[in-house]
Amino acid sequence: MRVEKDALGELPLPDDAYYGIQSLRAMGNYDVSPRTFNHYPNVVRALAEIKKACALANSDIKALDPEKADAIARACDEVIAGKFHDQFPVNVFRGCGTSANMNINEVVANRANELLTGQKGYDQVNPNTHVNMCQSSNDVFPAAESIVLYREVGALLEALPVLEKALSDKAKEFENVVKLGRTSTQDALPVTLGQTFTGFLASLRRNRKLLEGYRDTFRTSILGATAIGTGLGILPGFLERVYVRLSEVVGFTVICDEDLVDGLQNSDFFGILSAYVKNIASMVGKMATDLRLLSSGPRGGYGELNLPRPLADSVLMPDYTETFLPDMMVHIMHQVCANDWGVTLSVPSGETDIQPSAVINFMGTLESMELLRKGVVLFAEHCVRGLTANEETCRRYAEGSTSLATLVSALYGYGVGSKIATIAYKENITCKEAALREGLLPPDVAEDLFDVKKLTQLEATVAMFEKYKSIRTVK
């Protein structure tokens, strides 16, 4: 054991621990959940990248001894590489901010001293004086958030096209499969199964592009704001050098927020980001719900689609097809919406000059993006790609819809159309058969007008009404 001391006294730490006394105190103060920063290597990486950039910038402006700066940078490189993956035991609840910042400061300081002297301790590199030079927990943690969010949004944007491609392929495969359209689950006019999937695809692309356009928000950072947004404590030249160094370290351009006070006070960007993520989750969840309905059965449901069967049949119901992948996406939608509600409550809850706690805003949004990123790929690869259509069932439902009486109404008025629909319903025949029985149309015209494939195409239906305008009696 080794002993460290702070303003509150002394505490023993394990010899193999790179974290220090402030991290140890935080472990006890916030021990309310199993989630610590050991579970968030992406956050630890970003914190280490900031510490490295700051050390290099402080060396550039000759505020930090080059040998110490080099040791700090080397220690940070090891953290970035994941070498100290178990040295961040601070709980995320209330650990976001000072405790997380001190945890990284202590790990880096102890390792830097070890590199310089062969042993842990703060003889050469102090966690506050050197590792935290020109910084505050209040600007370091939000700066780390921006780095992480930029990357995680990027990862989600890479995953979404996997589902888009699967939907596009199915839209092409099903372009000639005519099915019954339904509004509020009631029989409506024909639509192709391909059109259903192009609808899914359009909604996903639209929302993905909105998220794509917002990603660059997270190239902006408030590093240099220090405690209150005024930059008190930074040294001459630091602000100019640190963004150059940070951009080099993280691998993309990071720029300073034009209003550091605003950046420190407000977190409305979380509300916007969470809303974009929620919208994507909602669209995919709605899609999954539709697939469950369209594949329902095998005898008592819609039965127009077949879900792939990646699991063994139910023991009790041999013909039962598991809907667990659509179910999974619905559950993800629910969790993302719950996280979004937490963000909505959290965004306005900061007091005066500082953002609210990042636990709900940051951690909730990260969870939403991770669930969605992983979920859409599984959903695309193991559900959407394996869908097949029951074409005969689809066409039978489409041709049997009493909504096809709309054609008759357009030619002869609502009363005649309603009569045809009533006959078709009561006698369990198609509207085409009812129209022929009533002598409204000659067989060849009826065959043309009630061609359900044509009825799914706007130009074809307009052309058809032009072709038969001579028999139209509605004026």
Catalytic site positions:
314
Among the listed residues 73, 79, 71, 55, the one whose alpha carbon sits nearest the alpha carbon of residue 123: 71
Farthest CA pair distance, the chain:
102
Opening angle at CA 276, ends 274 and 277, nearest 5:
65
- One-character DSSP codes across 431-465: HHHHHHHTTSS-HHHHHHHT-TTGGG-HHHHHHHH
In SS3 terms, 245-302 reads as: HHHHHHCCCCEECCCHHHHHHCCHHHHHHHHHHHHHHHHHHHHHHHHHHHCCCCCCCC
Are β-strands 2-6 and 178-183 bridged in parallel, bridged antiparallel, or unpaired? unpaired
Question: CA angle at residue 166 from 165 to 168, to 5 degrees?
Answer: 60
Helices (H), 11-132: 21-29, 41-60, 66-80, 98-117
d(CA 139, CA 143): 6
| DSSP state for residue 113 in the 8-state scheme | H
Question: How many CB atoms are closer than 10 A to CB 458?
Answer: 8
Q: Hey, is 191 helix, strand or coil?
A: strand
Q: What is the CB neighbour count within 10 angstroms for residue 314?
A: 11
Is the distance from CB of 139 to CB of 264 less than 8 angstroms? yes
Alpha-carbon span 189 to 180, nearest angstrom? 6
Q: Which of 140, 114, 121, 120 has its CA nearest to residue 55?
A: 140
Residue 350: burial class (beta carbons within 10 Å; 0-12, 13-18, 19+): middle
Rounded CA separation 423/437 (Å): 10
